Amino acid sequence: MSIVKFLVVFAILAYAAATLGMYVFQRKLQYYTENKSLTPESVGIIGASIEVLATADGEKIILWHAPARAGMPTILYFHGNAGEMGDRPLRFNYYHSRGFGVAYLSYRGYGGSSGSPSEAGLIADATAAYDWLITKGVEPSRIAVLGESLGSGVAVQLAAKREVGAVALEAPYTSTVDVAANIYWWLPVHTLMKDQFKSMDFISAVVAPLFIIHADQDGLIPVEFGKRLFAAANQPKELEIVPGFGHDVLFEESTWAREAEFFARVIK
């Protein structure tokens, strides 16, 4: 075999091996789960209860909940793909200190919840959390759904299927497969990816007031994805592009403040 043929065969085999490895381990690359057995008190959250919810497919998921002041909405929060809800105590305290009820969902495989993450699993978890709030007397029109990064796709699908009072999305995407294709351009990700979170297929069914916030320098989920999702959404809707920030805009108090203002204004 000539050196040229050898190099061609080697390249083909290397590509095939890389493709197979990405396919087999794709959920490890998509979900960066942590499970540190944290409690609200251990991370500085006061006044939150720990609830254990049963999902429709038999998992046990953890929810941290603090009730709203009279007349205030409850924020049902879906976090991003990395870490766990216990890594985000400042946001919880911010919303609750302003009178909002707060429900922090720990997806399956994260932060004390059983199971392993998948798209269908995360949607089942979100539905269980929503249904639990309803059983506790929170009216659907008083539930403000908030999705951070990966959680934006969870929020969109829930709001497309259940009545909610408002929706806020931080650095959302058209689909996770579009994000993956932007990163792994050399792989056939549209064919291979299992959990594609196609928010564009669900956004037209969301009728609640919508707020999208995205940073113009986001290198992980480019702002164009957020703009395209916004363009496809129903009215009423609001879009804020934050200049000079990347994906870390999610952790800015100004972001939380803008969401709190939106929720308080549109949920009467």
89-97 vs 253-266: helix crossing angle, rounded to 10:
40
Q: What pLDDT score does 6 carry?
A: 60
Evaluate if residue 73 carries a pLDDT over 70.
yes
Only one residue has tokens 């976090």, namely: 79
Residues with Cβ within 8 Å of residue 234, at least 6 apart in sequence: 203, 204, 206, 207, 210
pLDDT digits (tens, 9 = 90+) for 201-227: 999 999 999 999 999 999 999 999 999
φ and ψ at residue 153, rounded to 5 degrees: -70, -35
Average pLDDT, rounded, for the chain: 93
Q: Which residues contact 163 (CB under 8 A, 6 or more apart)?
A: 140, 141, 208
More confident call, 6 vs 147: 147
CATH architecture group of domain 40-266? 3-Layer(aba) Sandwich (3.40)
Using an 8 Å Cβ cutoff, are 49 and 92 in contact? no
Please tell me the predicted confidence (pLDDT) of residue 13: 67
Take residue 236 and report the two structure tokens written for it: 């009423």
Q: How confident is the model at residue 251 (pLDDT cuts 50, 70, 90)?
A: very high
Helices 150-161/119-135 angle, 10° precision: 60
pLDDT band (50, 70, 90) for residue 8: low
| In the chain, where the domains are located | 1-30, 40-266
Say what the pLDDT of residue 2 is.
83
CA separation for the pair 193, 201 (Å, rounded): 16
Residue with tokens 């009467």: 268
Residue matched to tokens 């495989």: 109
Residues 165-188: tens digit of each pLDDT: 999 999 999 999 999 999 888 888
Please tell me the predicted confidence (pLDDT) of residue 184.
82
pTM above 0.85, yes or no: yes
Half-sphere exposure of 37 (CA within 13 A, CB side): 0
- How long, in residues, is the chain? 268
What is the phi/psi pair of residue 30, to 5°? -90, -35
Burial of 56 per CB tally in 10 Å (0-12, 13-18, 19+): exposed
State the Cα–Cα distance between residues 89 and 48, nearest whole angstrom.
11
